């Protein structure tokens, strides 16, 4: 018995008593991180936002795609939505179908996905569905994939629906539930505080941009603290000049307000030297009134957002780190 205990202690010492340099090396990784908005980016959901007539209280449904374009017009004089307002009540207000408080409870999210998927083939796929499927094609990239959505569901509700997509063979892995951030979930402030140890910013479903950007800051901090291996393949530098070793981080959203806020906050962090090891690229995948998009910009310390032109870079890094797969071959622009 005594010798058995000694053997166990020896094995434990060998496992956990590695010199600190070896431990640090074991944690080295060049991260390719995907951060996605959900609605109209990965998935086209049929869920409607209900706006209320200020005088009559009559409800009018608005699609998420339209809402992304007109949310600043609601209640604003001179616009189509001047006489309407957003009502905030969780179970009866404008966003009730985006959370777990409607009559369908937490089943609503899955129900809306099923409704969308019962339509014409692929009509439910958002502009970055293929990129999402690539990110889900390996456990490693799935573990570095984050969802940041203005939905009010619990993270577990969305995670369960992703697991269902996996079960149906549409994706191969799912991100950890810890990487799913519905920023208007009533539990968001407490969860944010406990997870990151800082105060969350204010926000709600009609103005989620600041909360989304606050989660991004925390993701970028986590990536920055991961040492890059000396053998990491070089990429074109964030400023577009020269080459260097960087983690790659990308965020995509179809809401221009969210994209503008993300650019502002990430630029500020880069300028302060907070994320020296990260090449950050932000993708706008929606439509802005009177302007033709989508577009992608890469940000750099002290620079101005520049057009992201180095298509194929993400594919190259993924192939070098995890080997070529049919899925990685699909990546065209990232």
Q: Packing angle between helix 209-224 and helix 256-271, nearest 10 degrees?
A: 40
Phi and psi at residue 285, to the nearest 5°:
-115, 10
Window 17-56: residues binding Mg ion (CB under 5 A): 37, 39-41
Count helices and strands (H / E) in the chain: 12, 12
Nearer to Mg ion, 45 or 248 (CB): 45
Minimum CB–partner distance for residue 126 and Mg ion (Å): 8
Sketch the per residue contact string, 270 through 309, with Mg ion: x for CB under 5 A, - otherwise: ----------------------------------------
- To Mg ion, the closest distance from the beta carbon of 31 in angstroms equals 24
Contact between 254 and Mg ion by CB under 5 A: the answer reads yes
Q: Write phi, then psi, for 101 (nearest 5 degrees).
A: -100, -5
Q: Draw the binding track, 208-247, toward Mg ion (x: CB under 5 A; -: no contact).
A: ----------------------------------------
Closest to Mg ion by CB, 49 or 174 = 49
Alpha-carbon torsion (38, 328, 33, 142), positive or negative: positive
User: Under the criterion CB under 5 A, does residue 112 sit at the interface with Mg ion?
Assistant: no
Cis peptide preceding 294, ω within 30 of 0: yes
SS (H, E, C) 226-242: CCCCCCCCCEECCCCCC
Q: Is residue 100 near Mg ion by the rule CB under 5 A? A: no
Cβ-contact 48, 61 below 8 angstroms:
yes
At its nearest, how many Å lie between Mg ion and the CB of residue 102?
A: 19
Shorter beta-carbon distance to Mg ion: residue 260 or 310:
260
Please identify, using beta-carbon distances, which residue of 149 and 300 lies nearer to Mg ion. 149
Considering beta carbons, is residue 51 or 147 the nearer one to Mg ion? 147
Neighbours of 51 (CB within 10 A): 24
Cα 217 to the center of its chain, rounded Å: 12
Contact positions toward Mg ion, by CB under 5 A?
37, 39-41, 254
């Amino acid at each position: 018995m005594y010798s058995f205990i000694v053997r166990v202690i020896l094995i434990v010492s060998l496992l956990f008593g590695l010199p600190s340099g070896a431990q640090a090396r074991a944690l080295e990784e060049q991260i390719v991180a995907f951060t996605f908005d959900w609605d109209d980016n990965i998935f086209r959901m049929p869920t409607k936002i209900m706006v209320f007539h200020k005088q009559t209280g009559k409800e009018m449904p608005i699609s998420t795609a339209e809402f992304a374009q007109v949310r600043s017009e609601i209640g604003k004089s001179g616009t189509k939505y001047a006489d309407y307002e957003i009502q905030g009540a969780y179970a009866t207000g404008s966003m009730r179908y985006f959370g777990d408080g409607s009559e369908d409870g937490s089943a609503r999210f899955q129900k809306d996905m099923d409704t969308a998927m019962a339509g014409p083939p692929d009509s439910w796929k958002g502009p970055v569905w293929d990129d999402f499927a690539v990110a889900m094609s390996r456990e490693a990239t799935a573990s570095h994939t984050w969802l940041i959505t203005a939905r009010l569901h619990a993270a577990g509700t969305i995670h369960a629906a992703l697991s269902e997509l996996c079960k149906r063979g549409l994706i191969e892995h799912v991100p950890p539930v810890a990487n799913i951030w519905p920023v208007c979930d009533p539990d968001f402030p407490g969860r944010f505080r406990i997870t990151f140890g800082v105060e969350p910013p204010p926000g709600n479903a009609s103005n989620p941009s600041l909360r989304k950007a606050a989660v991004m800051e925390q993701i970028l901090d986590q990536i920055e603290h991961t040492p890059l291996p000396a053998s990491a393949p070089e990429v074109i530098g964030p400023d577009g000049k020269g080459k260097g070793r960087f983690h790659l981080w990308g965020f995509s959203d179809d809401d221009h307000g969210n994209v503008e806020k993300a650019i502002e906050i990430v630029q500020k962090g880069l300028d302060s030297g907070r994320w020296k090891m990260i090449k950050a690229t932000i993708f706008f995948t929606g439509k802005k009134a009177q302007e033709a998009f989508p577009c992608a910009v890469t940000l750099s310390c002290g620079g101005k957002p520049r057009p992201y032109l180095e298509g194929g870079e993400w594919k190259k890094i993924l192939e070098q780190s995890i080997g070529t797969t049919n899925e990685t071959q699909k990546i065209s622009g990232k």
